[in-house]
Amino acid sequence: MTRYGKLIGASLGPGDPELITRRSWAVLQSGARWLYPVKKAEESSYALSIVERGGLAVPADAEELVFPMTRDAEILLKAWANAAVRTVELLAEGRDLVFLVEGDASTFATFGHLARVVRELVPEVEVETIPGVSSFAAAAASAELSLAEEDETLAIIPAAYGVGVIDHLLDEFDTLVLLKVKPLMDDVIDLLERRGLLATSCFIEKVGSPDERIVRDVASLKGEKVNYLSLMLVQNPKRERGELRRGCRQRKDAQDASAHA
């Protein structure tokens, strides 16, 4: 009977190797075989660059898996199937595999899908996901902004839902994190201008990497082709809030009252 290795998704944080967790760091040096994602064969891998900047040498047998950036369902399906089949082949050698993940492995990451398909093919494969620092947590820290305080609401969405949805969500959430904002930059900037929210928006590109860029004057980005690894933090201080159910506070008040009784 085949003894499969474990499939480990190692979150590496968004770019600064100092944000790699101790757990991911240990797994990278555990003797597990490395797998890393690329958009095209033999192209550079952002995830790999994070560990290289952290001072780890890439093992000679590290292998790339190609996940093309396309909306063509046929090409995507084929690439996903190839990646999963190759992963199963390697796991069947009995050695653990560590899949390098930029940011956090549970947040809009290739790893979740890969692990699911691998498990469909071989249900007994053990999967471990090592959590990590997401791009937007690091972006908020770099820009010295809070994502949410006290009763504030926070939504994290791919900007591709379009400006209509973003416009609506601005009424529902105090802070919006817009990921994958690149193709919609100009439309988003126009919307923020209409809503009077340019001053409370911030654009962050390649956070944690040597090329990190923070742009507070987001209107200045109009017409610019920004990097795919970029996001926008939008705060709506004018949002009208609904009634809050203060159950937790009531319970605390009751606890305090009984403590003083």
Rg (CA), the chain: 21
Residue 159, token pair as written in the block: 């900007």
Among residues 229, 233, 234, 235, the one that binds ligand SAM under rule CB under 6 A: 229
231 binds ligand SAM (CB under 6 A): yes
Q: Give the number of residues in contact with ligand SAM, rule: CB under 6 A.
A: 22
DSSP run (H or E) holding 111? helix 110-121
Least distance to ligand SAM, CB of residue 57, Å:
23
- Give, as ranges, the residues between 87 and 106 that touch ligand SAM (CB under 6 A): 102-104
Least distance to ligand SAM, CB of residue 90, Å:
22
Least distance to ligand SAM, CB of residue 21, Å:
13
Least distance to ligand SAM, CB of residue 143, Å:
11
Least distance to ligand SAM, CB of residue 131, Å:
10
CA gap 104, 84 in Å, rounded? 20
Place of tokens 């033999």: 42
Q: Which is nearer to ligand SAM, 39 or 119 (CB)?
A: 39
List all residues 6 or more positions away from 208 whose beta carbon is below 8 Å from its beta carbon.
13, 14, 15, 16, 19, 138, 142
- Give, as ranges, the residues between 134 and 193 that touch ligand SAM (CB under 6 A): 134-135, 139, 179-180
3-state secondary structure string across 166-207: HHHHHHHCCEEEEECCHHHHHHHHHHHHHCCCHHHEEEEECC
207 binds ligand SAM (CB under 6 A): yes
Phi (first) and psi of residue 67, to 5 degrees: -125, 95
Binding-site ranges for ligand SAM (CB under 6 A): 14-15, 102-104, 107-109, 134-135, 139, 179-180, 204-208, 228-231
